[in-house]
Amino acid sequence: MSTFLLVHGGWHGGWCWARLAPLLEAAGQTVLTPDLPDHGDDHAPAPSRPWERYVSSIVAIARARPEPVILVGHSSGGIIISEVAREIPERIAALVYLAAFLLPPGATPREVIGPESESLLTEAIVVHPEAGVTTIRPDLARAAFYHDCSDEDAAWAIARLQPEPIIPPGPGDDDEPRGEPAILRVYIETSEDRALPPTVQRRMHAELPREAVYTMATSHSSFLSHPERLAEILLDIGEHVEEGV
């Protein structure tokens, strides 16, 4: 059996895995769904949530496990899991990028999406430079993130979105973890995604050394709209990890 450490994306919290985690647990897996520092139910002032604390929080959780974890990052969580793998590659059984960012060196998510991708996320984001955070316009949140979710699930998620610190440029995802063999890497693309369009996802993962690409015909939030199919994919990845493939 595998241990899945699920890392949420921007503006979200560990709550976003509420439909998915029980399905994995019912299959006998161990599932960890932490909030990144001061996310979730802790509505701390935005300046107390510096981006730099995110990676160290996930590193600490992975190090505390007796076994290597399958690290799943959604959206900007992809940036986090790449950084975690660079720090503790020996504690990572696999990296799974779920509609996630894979940044070239020195790039930011906004630059990678680009102005011509037709991403609704670029319209939905409101930048507050004086506070160093971004927020999501409530009137565009459903169209950007949850268009294939039920009305109830979309409203539930939108009510929980929080300000997010502006993401600084990163070292890039084309670097292998330092001094270790390449980690199994898998990408799950979402072909109906209006936040991170599939053309952008494919452009990013095309240059990433990876063992497999799965495709889901879903929005950016497959964990809410199609958790059963997402669970099947993750369990399949877990089986390959167990088999050492």
- pLDDT tens for 151-199 read 999 999 999 999 888 876 666 555 544 434 478 999 999 999 999 999 9
For residues 4-26, average pLDDT: 97
pTM of the model: 0.91
Q: Does pLDDT of 42 surpass 90?
A: no
The pLDDT value recorded for residue 180 is: 42
Q: Supply the residues annotated as catalytic.
A: 75
The CATH number of whichever domain residue 195 belongs to comes to 3.40.50.1820
For residues 115-122, average pLDDT: 82
Helices within 43-197 (DSSP H only) = 52-64, 77-87, 109-113, 121-124, 138-145, 151-158
Task: Measure the CA–CA gap between 233 and 216, rounded to whole angstroms.
Answer: 9
Bridge-partner residues for 126, per DSSP? Answer: 135
Model confidence at 110, in pLDDT bands (50, 70, 90)? confident
Q: Does pLDDT of 59 surpass 80?
A: yes
Please count the structural domains in the chain.
1
Determine the structural domain holding residue 133 and report its residue range.
3-243
Task: Measure the CA–CA gap between 58 and 71, rounded to whole angstroms.
Answer: 9
